Amino acid sequence: MRNDLMILIITITIASLLLVIAFLLIASVFRRFRHDRQYRQLDELRLSYRDRLTTALTSGGIAGWAESFCAAPGSLAWRAVEDVLFTFMADGTDGETRSLFQRLGYVTYYEERLAARNVLVKASAIDKLGRMNCSSSTAKLLPMLDHQDPEILSVTVRALSRLGAKEGMLAIVGHLPVLLGRSLVTRKTMETALLNFGEAAMPALLEYRAELADPWIMSCVLETLSHLPPDARSARLAADQLTSPNAEVRSKALKVLGRARSLSPEHLSGLVLPLFDDPVWFVRLQAAKSAGMLASKAAARELGKLLFDKNWHVRSETALALTRFGDDAIEVFLDAIMTNDAYVRENICEELERSGFCDRLIRNLGDDEGSLRARSREVLKAMHRLGFSIPLEEYALNGEDGRIRQELQGLLSDGRTA
């Protein structure tokens, strides 16, 4: 009797499980079928509305057509019109499109959804308001900067930067200590957002500097300034930060100074040179980059010391930076390429070839200045010995200047004999 009861219980359990599995499979198939049907309908509606909206926008009479595009919020027609309008925004036709978002109720709808408790719903509403590029939404989005959820904060920063209103920019700058200090928003997100405001962000960043104590924030500010047009005030701020105990800040300060050549004081290269001996490799690398951008003749010899840096990134960047010094760098290259350090020699040759500086050396073979021609020839000879001969061979065969071709042919011949 007991065994029969156990068998019955097991049978019922198995049957129940099979029914549940069958129900889930049927529900899954039905859901997929329904979604496929909706997507097909949505695609058809998109095509239809795209043609109609295109006609309305090109005719110039959108005001009379607007009512025909109204739809119930959340419906397939609503989503189709929204998708088409966002496509138009991406294509650059944002003037009339922006007004349609307002006329058809999309802006009001998503502003109301900012009060939703669901984080995903709220974040989606914030993102869409930013993409609609309606500056009137700025005031509605500003309170979102006080939210505790990092996702909400990130999407709010991006949305405000798209809207481009001064109030949004000032609010973002004012919230830097919270957003970056507590790592609620990534620095990359913040830098991208600030850059979207363009030069308008510069005064706020420069005025804010006196209060900046967090190196994470200062680094973000300097990185942003390094992508904005060169400015004497930015250069002064960067110069003040070269002695920062934080390596990231020193590196970003050098990046700003490297772009400020036309606005910098005469002693700017003197500010950069001491950083060649920085204990942190990426600071030395940025110092080499900045020195190359400044191309101060006095810095060439000092910069050449970094060709022997223990970090290969620094060595490579130094060789590339020196190519920007023109003929002033030839003697530096010649001294370094004659050493016994194989890594240094090959690294220099690679950069000379890759940067096109080798072409300058070849042209110098036809120069009337004997010393410049001689130094250039010695560097080319060293390159040939190390196997970097392709530019030399190409010019020796097809070059325009017969005198230089003859010089290179003799150089190549001497190298083969050796």
Structure tokens at 373: 């021609």
Residue 418 in this model has a pLDDT that exceeds 60: no
More confident residue, 208 or 291: 291
pLDDT in tens, 227-246: 988 888 888 889 889 999 99
Q: Place 280 in a pLDDT band, splitting at 50, 70 and 90.
A: very high
| Per-residue confidence (pLDDT) for residue 407, from 0 to 100 | 84
Give the rounded distance of the alpha carbon of 350 from its chain centre.
27
| Per-residue confidence (pLDDT) for residue 91, from 0 to 100 | 77
Biggest CA-to-CA distance, the chain: 116
Residue 64 in this model has a pLDDT that exceeds 80: no
Calpha distance 278→263 (Å, rounded): 25
**166-192: average pLDDT:** 84
Calpha distance 177→408 (Å, rounded): 61
Residue spans of the domains in the chain: they are 164-265
| Per-residue confidence (pLDDT) for residue 261, from 0 to 100 | 67
pLDDT in tens, 309-345: 999 899 999 999 999 888 888 999 988 888 888 888 8
Q: What is the pTM of this model?
A: 0.75
* Helix segments in 273-329, DSSP class H: 281-294, 300-304, 312-323
The amino acid occupying position 283 is V
Residue 382 and residue 338 in contact, taking contact as beta carbons nearer than 8 Å: yes
Count CB neighbours of 64 within 10 A. 9
Calpha distance 211→207 (Å, rounded): 9
| Per-residue confidence (pLDDT) for residue 212, from 0 to 100 | 59
Query: Could you tell me which residues come within 8 angstroms of residue 38 by beta carbon, excluding any fewer than 6 positions away?
Result: 76
Q: What angle do CA 384, 388, 390 make, to 5 degrees?
A: 100
Tokens 């979604």, residue located: 35
Calpha distance 347→352 (Å, rounded): 9
The amino acid occupying position 181 is G
pLDDT in tens, 75-129: 888 888 888 888 888 877 666 788 888 888 899 999 999 999 899 999 999 999 9
Calpha distance 168→156 (Å, rounded): 10
Residue 218 and residue 241 in contact, taking contact as beta carbons nearer than 8 Å: yes
Structure tokens at 80: 């189709």
Distances (CA, A) of 97 to 32, 56, 91: 33, 11, 11
More confident residue, 68 or 315: 315
Q: What angle do CA 301, 303, 309 make, to 5 degrees?
A: 125
| Per-residue confidence (pLDDT) for residue 35, from 0 to 100 | 62
State the DSSP code for 311. Answer: S
The lowest-confidence range among 24-33, 149-158, 294-303 is 24-33
| Per-residue confidence (pLDDT) for residue 293, from 0 to 100 | 86
Which of 56-65, 256-265, 363-372 has maximum average pLDDT?
A: 363-372
Residue 352 and residue 322 in contact, taking contact as beta carbons nearer than 8 Å: no
Q: Place 262 in a pLDDT band, splitting at 50, 70 and 90.
A: low
Structure tokens at 271: 């500010």
SS3 content of the chain, % helix, strand, coil (to 5): 80, 0, 20
pLDDT in tens, 369-407: 788 888 998 999 888 888 888 888 888 888 888 888 888
**58-85: average pLDDT:** 78
Calpha distance 2→254 (Å, rounded): 85
Give the rounded distance of the alpha carbon of 140 from its chain centre.
29
Residue 329 and residue 323 in contact, taking contact as beta carbons nearer than 8 Å: yes
Calpha distance 316→312 (Å, rounded): 6
Shortest CA distance to 131 belongs to which of 165, 168, 87, 190?
A: 87
User: What is the H or E stretch that residue 415 is in?
Assistant: helix 402-417
Structure tokens at 316: 């490579």
